[in-house]
Structure 1
C-alpha cells in the first residue's frame, strides 16, 4: 500500500482500528490465484503489548480457503471510517475551485495463516466472537452447537507486518479541513469527521505554525506580523 509519510497511521490509531474492526477481507494465496473472503473477526492483542497480536476467524469446513495456507503470507484488509469529501466543503474552493476526494482509514495486516482444527480452540474462538457481538451461545442446544463446531475450522493470523494509513486531508489547510469536517457532519459522516479532527487538524495546524515560523525567520514580507 502506498503511504506517504503524512498519511501514516500511528501505533495507537492502528491498535484502535484492530480492536474496533468487525470484519476484514482475508486475502489468501491459492494455485489458481488470490482469493478474498469477507469474514467477521476478533482481535487478540499480544499479552506483552509489544506486537499487534492476532486476528481470529472461522470458516465452514467445505470452504477451500483454509487448505492452501502454505503458499505464502495472507493479507487481512481492515477498513476504518471512510467517505466522500465534496470539494465545495473546502474553504479554499471559493477562490480556487478544486476537486473532491475520498478519505479513509485502513490497516493491512500480513502473516502466515494458522489453521486450528482443535475442538477446544474452535469452541473458544466461537464463544469469544459470540460474546463480542453480544450473542449468548449458551442458548443453542448443546448437541446442535457441537455439530456446528465440527462443521467449521478456526483461522488465526499472527500479524507479522502492518501497513496502516489514514488519508484524511492532512495535506490541506486547517480551514479546508474544518470545512470538510463540517460538511461530513451534515451527511452522516460523524465518525470520519471525528477522525479528521483528531488526526488531521493537529497535523495541519502544526505545519501552518512551522511554515509561518520559517517565513518569519527569513523576513518574508508576506508573513503576517
Structure 2
C-alpha cells in the first residue's frame, strides 16, 4: 500500500493510503479557525454540510457541493453558493439520516477525507459523527481524519499505520478502541505499546505523552482512533 502525507497546521501525518480523491469535508460543529481552514483546504475538493457552508464562505471559498436541511446555516449563503456554481442539495429537517450521513453516502470511494467542523458541541452529535465517518471509511475503502485546531483523530483499520511529525506540540495522545478487541502498537511516547490488546470495554490507552519528534501508531487488528489534543482541558 502506498503512503501519503497530509499537511496540517499542527504537523504532518504520514498515512498508508490508496486514495484516488482528496476531500475536505466542512461540517457544522465547532468552527475551525479561519487560518487553520484556509491552510488545510490546500488542493482538496471541498464539500460542506449545512452550517459548514458558512465557514467556507467566511474563509473565502465555495464548496463543490453542500448538503443540509438549512436549519443552522445562513440562507443568503445558500443563494450565494448556488450562484457561484455550488451544487446545493437540501432536505426537510424531519428525516432519518443526519445531513452528514446523507453527504457521506454520495462521496466517492477510495478517498483521503479530512473532516472538520465535526468536533465540539453535544456528545450525541460527536458520537454520530465518529461512527458515521467510520462507516464511510469501511464501506468506501477510504482514509478518514477528523481535525481542527484543537483535536485530530485518524481512523485506522487492521494493517494501517500513521506517523505524526509535530510542528506544534500535542498535549495528549490517545488510542481509542472502536472494535470490541484490537491489537495496537505506538512508539515515540512516554508509555509505548507493542502489539498490545486494547478492548472497547477497557480503553486504558489514553492521556499518553509525546517524547519524540515522531509518533508512530500501527493497528494490527480491529479498528482504532489515533487521537491528538492540542488544547488540554480536564
| Greater strand content | 2
Q: Which structure would you say has the larger Rg?
A: 1
Between the two structures, name the one with larger relative contact order (CA 8 Å, sep ≥ 6). 1
Same fold judged by TM-score > 0.5?
Answer: no
